[in-house]
Amino acid sequence: MCVTADCCVSTPEAAGELETDPLTLMEEREKKERGIMGQDQEEGGKTEGQPANMNSQDSMTENEENCVELCTEVEEKGKEKGMEEGELKKEIELEAEVKLELCQSIPGLQMSLIRGTDLFGYVGIEAILDQMKRKTMKAGFEFNIMVVGQSGLGKSTLVNTLFKSKVSRRSNYEEKISKTVKLHSVSHVIEEKGVKMKLTVIDTPGFGDQINNENCWEPIVKYINEQYEKYLREELCVNRKRRIPDSRVHCCIYFLPATGHRLRPIDVEFMKRLGKIVSIVPVIAKADTLTIEERQEFKERIRHDLVANGIHVYPQKEYDEDPEDHILNNRIRENIPFAVVGTDKEHQVNGNKVLGRKTKWGIIEVENVEHCEFACLRDLLIRSHLQDLKDVTHNIHYETYRVRRLTESNMDFGELGLPTWPLENGTRDKCESESHL
Amino acid sequence: SRIRPLSLAGHVGFDSLPDQLVNKSTCQGFCFNILCIGETGIGKSTLMDTLFNTNFENFESSHFEPQVKLRAQTYDLHESNVRLRLTVVNTVGFGDQMNKQESYQPVVDYIDRQFESYLQEELKIKRSLHNYHDSRVHACLYFISPSGHSLKSLDLVTMKKLDSKVNIIPVIAKADTISKSELHKFKIKIMSELVSNGVQIYQFPLDDETVAKVNTTMNGHLPFAVVGSTEEVSIGNKMVKARQYPWGVVQVENENHCDFVKLREMLICVNMEDLREQTHTRHYELYRRCKLEEMGFKDTDPECKPVSLQQTYVAKRQEFLVELQKREDEMRQMFVQRVKEKEAELKEAERELQTRFEQLKRLHADEKAALEEKKRLLEEDQSSFSKRRAAAQLLQAQSLTANGKKDKDRKK
Give the pLDDT score at A162.
87
Chain B nearest-CA distance from A409, in A, is 8
Rounded mean pLDDT of B60-87?
84
Query: d(Cα B281, Cα A18) in Å, to the nearest integer?
Result: 25
CATH of the domain at A394: 3.40.50.300
The beta-carbon neighbor of A164 closest among B9, B71, B214 is B9
Give the pairing type, strands B232-235 and B238-245. antiparallel
Nearest CA in chain B to A63: B80
Q: What average pLDDT score do residues A158-182 get?
A: 73
The pLDDT tens digits for B25-51 are 888 888 899 999 999 889 899 999 888
CB contact under 8 A, A237 and B74: no
Q: In which band, very low, low, confident or very high, does the pLDDT at A413 lie, cut at 50, 70 and 90?
A: low
Q: Which of A3, A54, A100, A326 to mutate to test the interface with B (most CBs of B within 10 A)?
A: A100
Interchain CB distance below 8 Å, A29 and B208: no
Sign of the CA dihedral running A368, A374, A376, A380: negative
Q: Find the range with the poorest average confidence among B33-47, B67-81, B193-207.
A: B67-81
pLDDT computed for residue A119 by the predictor: 34
* Interatomic CA distance for residues B268 and B169, integer angstroms: 13
Domain count for chain A: 1
For the residues B371-377, what does the mean pLDDT come to?
94
- pLDDT of residue A21 exceeding 50, the answer is no
Residue B285 has pLDDT above 90, yes or no: yes
pLDDT confidence band for B309 (50 / 70 / 90)? low
pLDDT digits (tens, 9 = 90+) for B247-265: 988 998 888 888 999 999 8
* Closest Cβ opposite residue A437 in set B116, B285, B338: B338
- B25-231+258-295 to CATH, choices 3.40.50.300, 3.30.9.10, 1.10.10.10, 3.40.718.10: 3.40.50.300
The answer for A 129-188 residues in CB contact with B (under 8 A) is 129, 131-138, 141, 143, 162-167, 186-188
Q: How far is CA A244 from CA A142, A173, A254, B18, in A?
A: 11, 38, 28, 19
**Which are the contacts of A131, defined by CB distance < 8 A and separation ≥ 6?**
B270, B271, B272, B273, B274
Residue A150 forms part of a structural domain: yes
Peptide bond into B223 cis (omega under 30): yes
CB A208 within 8 A of CB A216: yes
Tell me what the mean pLDDT of segment A322-338 comes to. 83
Is pLDDT at A89 greater than 60 in this prediction?
no
pLDDT band for A55, please (50, 70, 90 cuts): very low
Q: Minimum mean pLDDT among A22-26, A419-423, B230-234, B368-372: which range?
A: A419-423
pLDDT greater at residue A5 or residue B292:
B292
What mean pLDDT do residues B376-383 have? 93
Q: Are strands B30-37 and B82-92 parallel, antiparallel or unpaired?
A: parallel
Picking from A106, A132, A192, the nearest residue to B133 by CB comes out as A106
Query: B172 forms bridges with which residues in the sheet?
Result: B144, B225
Contact B57 A114 (CB under 8 A): yes
> How confident is the model at residue A105, as a pLDDT?
33
Buried b (16+ CB within 10 A) or exposed e, A13-44: eebbeeeeeeeebeebbbebbbbbbbebeebb
C-alpha–C-alpha distance, residues B58 and B92, integer Å: 12
* Per-chain mean pLDDT for chain A: 71
Q: Which of A28, A132, A229 to mutate to test the interface with B (most CBs of B within 10 A)?
A: A132
User: Would you call B78 and A112 a contact, using CB atoms and an 8 Å cutoff?
Assistant: no
Q: Return the CA Rg of chain A.
A: 27
Which residue in chain B has the smallest CA separation from A99? B78
Cβ separation of B85 and A163 shorter than 8 Å? no
Distance CA B165, CA B288 (A): 11
Q: Is A98 on the interface with B (CB under 8 A)?
A: yes
pLDDT at B381: 92
- B106 in Cβ contact with B67 (< 8 Å): yes
DSSP state of A207: T
Contacts of residue B352, defined as CB under 8 A and 6 or more positions apart, other chains included, come to: none
| Highest mean pLDDT (candidates A187-201, B111-125, B355-369) | B355-369
pLDDT at residue A282 above 70?
yes
Tell me: pLDDT of A86 over 60. no
Where is average pLDDT lowest: A80-89, A135-144, B161-170, B315-324? A80-89
Give the percent of chain B with pLDDT over 70.
96
Q: Is the pLDDT of residue A420 over 80?
A: no
Most confident of A233-237, A257-261, A280-284, A339-343: A280-284
Judged by phi (left if over 0) then psi (alpha if -120 to 50, else beta), residue B231 lies in beta
What's the pLDDT band for A18 if we cut at 50, 70, 90? very low
Within 8 A of B121 by CB-CB distance, chain A residues are: none
The mean per-residue pLDDT over the stretch B153-173 comes to: 92
Percent of chain B with pLDDT over 90: 40
Please, which pLDDT band fits residue A71 given cuts at 50, 70 and 90? very low
Answer yes or no: are the C-beta atoms of A380 and A388 closer than 8 Å.
Answer: no
Q: Do B54 and A98 touch (CB under 8 A)?
A: yes
- In the A/B pair of chains, how many CB contacts fall below 8 A? 318
Q: Which of B12, B264, B308 sits opposite A163 (nearest CB)?
A: B12
Domain boundaries, position A184: 136-208+215-341+387-411
Q: Is B336 a residue whose pLDDT tops 90?
A: yes
Output A73 or A320, whichever has higher pLDDT: A320
Categorise residue A172: left if φ over 0, alpha if ψ from -120 to 50, beta otherwise.
Answer: beta
B324 to chain A: which residues are within 8 Å by CB?
422
Which of A 55-94 lie inside 8 A of B, CB atoms? 55, 59, 63, 86, 90
pLDDT in tens, B109-129: 999 999 999 998 888 888 888
- The complex's ipTM works out to 0.72
Q: Tell me which of B93 and A96 has the higher pLDDT.
A: B93
User: What are the chain A neighbours of B27 within 8 Å (beta carbons)?
Assistant: 50, 53, 321-322
Tell whether the model's pLDDT for residue A432 goes beyond 60: no
Q: Kindly give the interhelix angle for B309-411 and A422-436, rounded to the nearest 10 degrees.
A: 10
Cα distances (Å, whole numbers) of residue A406 to A410, B122, B126, B150, B310:
6, 13, 10, 54, 9
- For chain B, the three-class secondary structure string (H helix, E strand, C coil) is CCCEEECCCCCCCHHHHHHHHHHHHHHHCEEEEEEEECCCCCCHHHHHHHHCCCCCCCCCCCCCCCCCEEEEEEEEEEECCEEEEEEEEEEECCCCCCCCCCCHHHHHHHHHHHHHHHHHHHHCCCCCHHHCCCCCCCEEEEEECCCCCCCCHHHHHHHHHHCCCCCEEEEECCHHHCCHHHHHHHHHHHHHHHHHCCCCCCCCCCCCHHHHHHHHHHHHHCCEECCCCCCEEEECCEEEEEEEECCEEEECCCCCCCCHHHHHHHHHHHCHHHHHHHHHHHHHHHHHHHHHHHCCCCCECCCCCECCHHHHHHHHHHHHHHHHHHHHHHHHHHHHHHHHHHHHHHHHHHHHHHHHHHHHHHHHHHHHHHHHHHHHHHHHHHHHHHHHHHHHHHHHHHHHHHHHHHHHHHHC
* pLDDT at residue number A107: 37
Q: Is the pLDDT of residue A285 over 50?
A: yes
